[in-house]
């Protein structure tokens, strides 16, 4: 019996429907399960309910901005180690510093370079998979 590989999930948080749809199409084409949220509050709720493997977080969002949503997500034990990549069209240096201070692991500027996006996603999902494998093997070893 062959085991089915579970798709890694990515939560795309952006208030522009067209941008979310574009990312959804591109990421699903690469084999990811894509979850969506249109504002910061919805992002926190979807993340808490679905436990995505990675979050792409816009910063300029209604209800809760992406910085505050990221801080809320980082306070949740189940999501504390989920990679969050900040994505915004605002000035790079300011947004990058604030994003990292809020708890993002990485930062990308709009308009997105999709090849760079894929590299960043692969890098963080690979690190996460390796950490999970290490913690599983450490838990099984007899000392």
What tens digit of pLDDT does each residue of 81-135 get?
999 999 987 766 767 788 888 899 999 988 899 999 999 999 999 987 766 666 5
Nearest to 82 by CA among 127, 139, 23, 140: 127
Average pLDDT score, the chain? 88
Nearest to 109 by CA among 36, 46, 56, 52: 56
The domains of the chain are located at 9-137
Using DSSP's 3-state secondary structure scheme, residue 10 falls into strand
The percent of residues in the chain predicted with pLDDT above 90, rounded, is 69
The model carries a pTM of: 0.88
Instruction: Give the architecture (CATH level 2) of 9-137.
Output: 3-Layer(aba) Sandwich (3.40)
Structure tokens at 22: 């574009």
């Amino acid at each position: 019996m062959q085991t089915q590989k579970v798709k890694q999930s990515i939560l795309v948080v952006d208030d522009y429907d067209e941008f979310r749809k574009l990312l959804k199409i591109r990421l699903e084409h690469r084999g990811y399960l894509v979850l969506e949220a249109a504002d910061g509050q919805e992002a926190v709720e979807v993340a808490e309910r679905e436990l995505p493997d990675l979050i792409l977080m816009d910063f300029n969002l209604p209800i809760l901005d992406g910085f505050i949503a990221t801080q809320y997500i980082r306070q949740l034990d189940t999501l504390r180690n989920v990679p969050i990549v900040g994505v915004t069209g605002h000035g790079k240096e300011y947004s990058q510093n604030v994003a990292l201070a809020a708890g993002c692991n990485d930062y990308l500027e709009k308009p997105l370079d999709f090849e760079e996006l894929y590299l960043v996603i692969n890098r963080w999902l690979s690190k996460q998979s390796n950490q999970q494998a290490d913690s599983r093997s450490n838990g099984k070893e007899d000392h």
